[in-house]
C-alpha cells in the first residue's frame, strides 16, 4: 500500500520536536502540533504557509545547501516565528517520496536556551582563565622584580668589595661563602622565573586538558539537562606509522591531517582533542543515540591521507548519564572501544 501524507499526520503529532513536510517549492504540506507552537502559527496556517516565510534572507543559503543533500546531517540556522521573533535552531532534513511526489521532511530543534547557557558558561570560563593568567603574570612580575633587586644588590656589594677582594679572600673565607650564596640565590630566582614564564605559555596555548573539558561538559549537562556522548578514536597502525618516519615533525603532520579529517564528520560545536599515541577523544553534543552510534561506525572506517597513506581506525563510544563522573563515562567509552578492537582482530586472525 502506498504511503500517503495523511498517514503521517497522527504519527508526527506524537513527536515532541517540530516536524515539517514541504514540497520542492518549500510549501508546508504537513506540520505537527509542535511546529504550530514553535512558530506561533494558527491552525489555519497549515497547508497555506511556505517554509521560506520563516527564514531570514541572510540564512536562506543554509537551506539551499541542505536541500542539495539527501542525508539528514544537522545544521544550525536562525528561524523567524510568525510574530517576528527569531530563534536559533538545529535542523536536519531528508528527501522522501510520497505518492510519486518529492518532499522534504525536516526536524527543528530550538536551541535558544542552550545557546544562552553556553554563552554564560563560556563567559565564566574566559573570566576564570583571565584571572588565572593575571595571577601568574603578577607572580612572574614580582619574581622578576625580586631578581632585579637581588642582582642590583649583588652588583653593589661586588663593586664595594672588588678592590679588596683578593686581600679579603685570603683572610676571610666567609666572604667567598657570601658571594657563593648570593649567586646561588640569583640562579634559583632565574630558574623560577623561567618556570613561571613556561607556565604562562602553557596556559595560553592549552588552557584546559581534555579531562578539564570533559568535566566542564558534564557540569554543563547536569545543570541544563543537555545530552552528549563521548567517542574514543584510535589510529590502529600508529606504531607502524611512527616507525616509518625519522622526524617527529612528519608524525605531527599526520596527527594534524587526521584531526582535520575527523572534523569533516563533526559539527562546529562538537569538541575533538588529540590526547597521545594516536588517540582522539570527541564530545558529541545534543545528538540522538542512533546518530552517535552511526557516527562511531563511520569514524571506524579506514582513510587514505597524505600521499595515499592508509590509516586504520577503531572507535568506541558511551552515552552520558546524569550521575556520571569523568572516570565513569571514560571507562565505558574505553571498554566499548576495546571490544570493537578485539572483534576486528578476531576477524583478521580468522581470515
Per-residue pLDDT tens over the stretch 41-56: 887 776 678 888 888 9
Note the helical H segments in 210-268: 210-224, 238-244, 248-263
19 vs 43: CA distance, rounded Å: 15
Average pLDDT of the chain, as a whole number = 81
Per-residue pLDDT tens over the stretch 284-330: 998 888 789 999 999 999 998 877 788 999 999 999 998 999 999 99
pLDDT at 325: 93
Give me the mean pLDDT over the 318-346 stretch: 93
pLDDT at 298: 93
pTM of the model: 0.43
Q: How many CB atoms lie within 10 A of CB 283?
A: 22
What Cα–Cα distance (Å) separates residue 21 from each residue in 81, 95, 102, 227? 17, 10, 10, 26
Per-residue pLDDT tens over the stretch 176-221: 777 777 777 768 766 765 665 555 445 444 556 888 889 999 999 9
Which one of 54-68, 216-230, 245-259 scores highest in mean pLDDT? 216-230
- Contact (CB, 8 A) for 309 and 320: no
- Contact (CB, 8 A) for 77 and 55: yes
Local structure of residue 153 (DSSP, 8 states): H
pLDDT band at 232; cut points 50, 70, 90: very high
What Cα–Cα distance (Å) separates residue 149 from each residue in 8, 142, 155, 180? 80, 10, 10, 17
58 has pLDDT over 70: yes
Amino acid at each position: 500500500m502506498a504511503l500517503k501524507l495523511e498517514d503521517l499526520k497522527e504519527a508526527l503529532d506524537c513527536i515532541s520536536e517540530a516536524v515539517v513536510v514541504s514540497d520542492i517549492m518549500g510549501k508546508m504540506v504537513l506540520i505537527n502540533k509542535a511546529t504550530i507552537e514553535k512558530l506561533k502559527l494558527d491552525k489555519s496556517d497549515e497547508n497555506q504557509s511556505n517554509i521560506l516565510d520563516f527564514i531570514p534572507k541572510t540564512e536562506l543559503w543554509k537551506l539551499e545547501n541542505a536541500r542539495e543533500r539527501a542525508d539528514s546531517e544537522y545544521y544550525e540556522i536562525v528561524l523567524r516565528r510568525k510574530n517576528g521573533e527569531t530563534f536559533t535552531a538545529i535542523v536536519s532534513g531528508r528527501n522522501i517520496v510520497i505518492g510519486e511526489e518529492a518532499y522534504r521532511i525536516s526536524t527543528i530543534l530550538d536551541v535558544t536556551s542552550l545557546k544562552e547557557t553556553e554563552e554564560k558558561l563560556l563567559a565564566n570560563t574566559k573570566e576564570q582563565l583571565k584571572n588565572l593568567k593575571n595571577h601568574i603574570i603578577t607572580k612572574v612580575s614580582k619574581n622578576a622584580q625580586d631578581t632585579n633587586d637581588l642582582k642590583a644588590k649583588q652588583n653593589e656589594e661586588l663593586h664595594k668589595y672588588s678592590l679588596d677582594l683578593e686581600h679579603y679572600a685570603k683572610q676571610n673565607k666567609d666572604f667567598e661563602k657570601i658571594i657563593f650564596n648570593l649567586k646561588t640565590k640569583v640562579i634559583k630566582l632565574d630558574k623560577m622565573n623561567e618556570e613561571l614564564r613556561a607556565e604562562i605559555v602553557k596556559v595560553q596555548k592549552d588552557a584546559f586538558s581534555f579531562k578539564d573539558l570533559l568535566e566542564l561538559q558534564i557540569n554543563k549537562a547536569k545543570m541544563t539537562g543537555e545530552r552528549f556522548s563521548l567517542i574514543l578514536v584510535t589510529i590502529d597502525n600508529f606504531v607502524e606509522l611512527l616507525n616509518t618516519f625519522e622526524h617527529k615533525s612528519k608524525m605531527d603532520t599526520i596527527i594534524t591531517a587526521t584531526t582535520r579529517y575527523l572534523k569533516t564528520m563533526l559539527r562546529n560545536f562538537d569538541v575533538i582533542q588529540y590526547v597521545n599515541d594516536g588517540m582522539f577523544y570527541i564530545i558529541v553534543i545534543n545528538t540522538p543515540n542512533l546518530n552517535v552510534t552511526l557516527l562511531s561506525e563511520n569514524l571506524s572506517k579506514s582513510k587514505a591521507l597524505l600521499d595515499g597513506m592508509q590509516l586504520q581506525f577503531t572507535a568506541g563510544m558511551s552515552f552520558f548519564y546524569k550521575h556520571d563522573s569523568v572516570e565513569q563515562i571514560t571507562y565505558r567509552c574505553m571498554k566499548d572501544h576495546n571490544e570493537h578492537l578485539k572483534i576486528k582482530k578476531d576477524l583478521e586472525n580468522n581470515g
